[in-house]
Amino acid sequence: MCRYRIAGHDMEAAPARAGLHLVATPIGNLKDITIRGLEILSGVDVILCEDTRVSRRLLERYAIKTPLLAYHEHNSERVRPRVLAQLEAGEAIALISDAGTPLVSDPGFKLVRAACDQGIYVTAAPGASAGILALTLSGLPPDRFMFCGFLASKQGARRKALEQVKDAPASLIFFESPKRLARSLADMSEVLGNRSAATARELSKIHEELRRGTLVELAEHYEVAGPPRGEVVIVTGPPQIRPQINLDEVLLDELKTGSVRDAAVQAARLCGVSKKTAYARALALKNPDLKRPGPCTYAAAPIFSATAPRHAPPCGSG
């Protein structure tokens, strides 16, 4: 029998069935591992993982002695044939990621596909997924969603990827590096439109943080606050049909009773533009001696509402 330990109590598990076992691991709180996941990890012959140092902390927490083998984007082409040979020989092998569900933004896809092509038994023990958790906490429509993974680091490629999904009638889920967060949110606001969105980080941990607003508001926040700690999940709502609002008309109306700053803040909120853009336009309208361009019209700031019927099937997962 195979063993693992929970809260000081030794538990027994039967050896895992020969084949490839995909096991979801916690995304932050180590208590989020499932009992079935622990049974599989203690019962297989070897565990494939992205970083042995990260995965060893999970195994040590539950006193699991199964050996670890690194399997990541830099060595997967070399290691895969060896793993497939072990599976063909009747071994039981688990595949895990550093955090969350395997194959979601990790290199396991080719191994699973090859195992399926060779008729090898493949199964999964489901569990945590940062993208799904962020979606459920975002307050955005979950009826349809599309998982888009990590955005490109270069702006041109990033904007091209956003163009490809901007018309999808679904909420969009992205993973992003904290260093690029403000720039990516700004690109999203320009390509996708200033739709409702949320950022999530440190999910399931003590310092879990969800921030909700429009893409412009979120971009402005992180531009000032700087990069947060830890990788971030960005969720945007689906595209909205929004009325056109004339920025000049809003500003002129607000300037009748308020300051340039106050008028800009209100116009930015109503028209879905940045405060900087609204402030510059307000200054031009306030001073008739300045040469100013023609009237500006923008789509109104979006509201939370689903564009798909409640019975619509999901178009993606994370």
> Could you state, in order of their start, the residue ranges of all structural domains in the chain?
2-128, 131-236, 244-299
Q: What 3-state DSSP class applies to 163?
A: helix
Count of beta carbons in the 10 Å neighbourhood of residue 305? 12
Lowest mean pLDDT among 27-31, 212-216, 240-244: 240-244
Higher pLDDT, 9 or 241: 9
Parallel, antiparallel or unpaired: strands 9-13 and 68-70: unpaired
At which residue do the structure tokens 């595949």 appear? 95
Contact 152, 161 (CB under 8 A): yes
| Fold held by 2-128 | Cobalt-precorrin-4 Transmethylase; domain 1 (3.40.1010)
pLDDT of residue 243: 65
User: Can you tell me the distance from the alpha carbon of 47 to that of 98, in angstroms, rounded to the nearest whole number?
Assistant: 12
* Angle at CA of residue 262, ends 260 and 266, nearest 5°: 115
| pLDDT attached to residue 181 | 97
Which whole-number Å values give the CA distances from 125 to 5, 34, 96, 154, in the listed order?
A: 19, 8, 10, 36
**Of the ranges 29-33, 170-174, 277-281, which one carries the lowest mean pLDDT score?**
277-281
Sheet architecture: strand order including 145-150: 145-150, 171-176, 232-236, 196-201, 209-214
Residue 98's SS3 state is coil
Residue 104: pLDDT band with limits 50, 70, 90 = confident
Structure-token pair, residue 73: 């984007």
Question: Residue 169: which of 316, 70, 303 has the closest Cα?
Answer: 316
Give the fold, CATH level 3, of 131-236: 3.30.950
The span from the CA of 161 to the CA of 118, in Å, is: 34
Mean pLDDT of the 34-50 span = 97
d(CA 134, CA 233): 7
- Using CA atoms, how far apart are residues 20 and 123, in angstroms rounded to an integer? 6
- Whether residue 16 contacts residue 94, with contact meaning beta carbons closer than 8 Å, is answered with yes
Give the model's pLDDT for residue 307.
Answer: 37
DSSP assignment of 267-281: HHHHHT--HHHHHHH
pLDDT band at 315 (very low <50, low <70, confident <90, very high): very low
- What percentage of the chain carries pLDDT values higher than 90? 72
Residues 101 and 130 sit within 8 Å (Cβ to Cβ): no
Q: What is the mean pLDDT of residues 229-251?
A: 86
How far apart CA 44 and CA 17 sit, in angstroms, is: 8
Give the per-residue pLDDT at 290: 59
Quote the pLDDT of residue 126: 96
Residue pair 260/287 in contact (Cβ under 8 Å)? The answer is: no
**DSSP conformation class of 154:** S
> Is the C-alpha dihedral spanning 144, 150, 151, 152 positive or negative?
negative
Query: Which residues 6+ apart lie within 8 Å of 211 measured at CB?
Result: 198, 199, 200, 218, 221
